[in-house]
Amino acid sequence: MKEEDQMNWIITAALVLIAAPLYCDALKVTGFRVPSLALLGSDVELDCAFSAARNAKLYSVKWYQNHEEFYRYMFAERTPVTAFSRPGINVDLTRSNNSRVTLKSVNFNSSATFRCEVSADEPDFETVYRRANMTVIQVSEDGPLINGLRDQYELNEQLNVNCTSPSITPSIGSHQIKLSWQLNHQTVEGQTVQMQSSDPSQVVINLRLILTERHFDSKTGLLRLNCSLNVGRPNAIYFNRSLELSAALMHPTTVVDPRPTQRSSKSSKDSRSASYSSAAGGRRQFKLSLVTFLAVMTWCWC
């Protein structure tokens, strides 16, 4: 390494070492969370964690909906919290502080860009902020729906079914709507294809596979098909719902001769005949005894 390059490297390293403590002590937002989606009528927590120099004095934390302030926390005030009325904003003061704001029962007017602004006190009056968008959605009650599943199937038949997600208002794009199949509570190995829907707020997936014995429960003979819906991103699921239906294995019908076997038929016939014959014989015997008795009485009378 040349002497000049070596000197430049030493100077750069020295500047980094000098600036590092200043950066570490700087006021900054260390954690920020605004959900990108929120369900209509739900409560939503907005988080804004921060750090400052050990001896620094903090002045305020302020929250904005778009460009309008709706919440303020003043560190030096005896009553530090102030909430302002805004369309779609209803702050739960019992669950809000200098690092969290809780909104109660959000509605469509709550959708906005939310900004957290943290300010230091004198002498620096430094201010840092973070912001993110939140959209309030409504998920209809009619989904997911499974179409095309029959009550019974034979082995080696093809299963061909669709699953349709519920409609979502406003439309959020199919990339945040995920449908998936489970067969007997396990991931399906068949062919799953996403299909076009006439409703842009819905997603449809198709499943096709050839059914074998392993697809049916060995005890119940049932196939359990589940379609699951997740709304959000893989690392942030804001809504999930599932539907499970079942179908039975159609076993081959065993043909049984409706005629009883020769032995059982004969035994039954003999039994009935014996019972019947026993009753007739008794009647004939009774009649014969009565005739004999009358004949004897007549002879003795004469």
Say if residue 223's pLDDT is above 90: yes
Of the three residues 138, 172, 190, the one that is the final residue of a domain is 138
For residue 247, what are the contacts with CB-CB under 8 A and spacing of at least 6?
A: 149, 150, 151, 152, 153, 222, 223, 225
Q: Which tokens sit at 123?
A: 């002498």
Helices (H), the chain: 3-24, 262-301
Structure confidence at residue 227 (pLDDT): 95
Structure confidence at residue 25 (pLDDT): 57
Integer-rounded Cα Rg, in Å, for the chain is: 42
Q: How does pLDDT run across 52-74, given as a tens digit for each residue?
A: 877 778 999 999 999 999 999 99
Q: What does each C-alpha distance from 49 to 100, 151, 257, 285 come to in angstroms?
A: 8, 54, 80, 111
Domains of the chain: total = 2
Tell me, yes or no, whether 165 and 90 share the same domain. no
Instruction: Decide: 43 and 104 in contact? Cβ < 8 Å.
Output: yes
Q: Report if residue 221 sits inside a domain.
A: yes
Average pLDDT, the chain: 80
Biggest CA pair distance of the chain: 169
Of the three residues 114, 138, 162, the one that is the final residue of a domain is 138
Confidence category of residue 200, pLDDT binned at 50, 70, 90: confident
Tell me, yes or no, whether 156 and 127 share the same domain. no
d(CA 124, CA 28): 13
What's phi and psi for 259, nearest 5 deg? -75, 135
Mean pLDDT to the nearest integer, 213-230: 93
Instruction: Decide: 143 and 165 in contact? Cβ < 8 Å.
Output: yes
Per the document, the length of the chain is: 302
Q: Report if residue 254 sits inside a domain.
A: no
Structural domain boundaries enclosing 99: 7-138
Instruction: Decide: 207 and 229 in contact? Cβ < 8 Å.
Output: no
Question: What does the DSSP 8-state code read for residue 24?
Answer: H
Tell me, yes or no, whether 37 and 64 share the same domain. yes
Does the predicted TM-score (pTM) go above 0.85? no
Say if residue 10's pLDDT is above 60: no
Tell me, yes or no, whether 134 and 149 share the same domain. no
Q: How does pLDDT run across 267-294, given as a tens digit for each residue?
A: 333 322 223 233 334 444 444 444 444 4
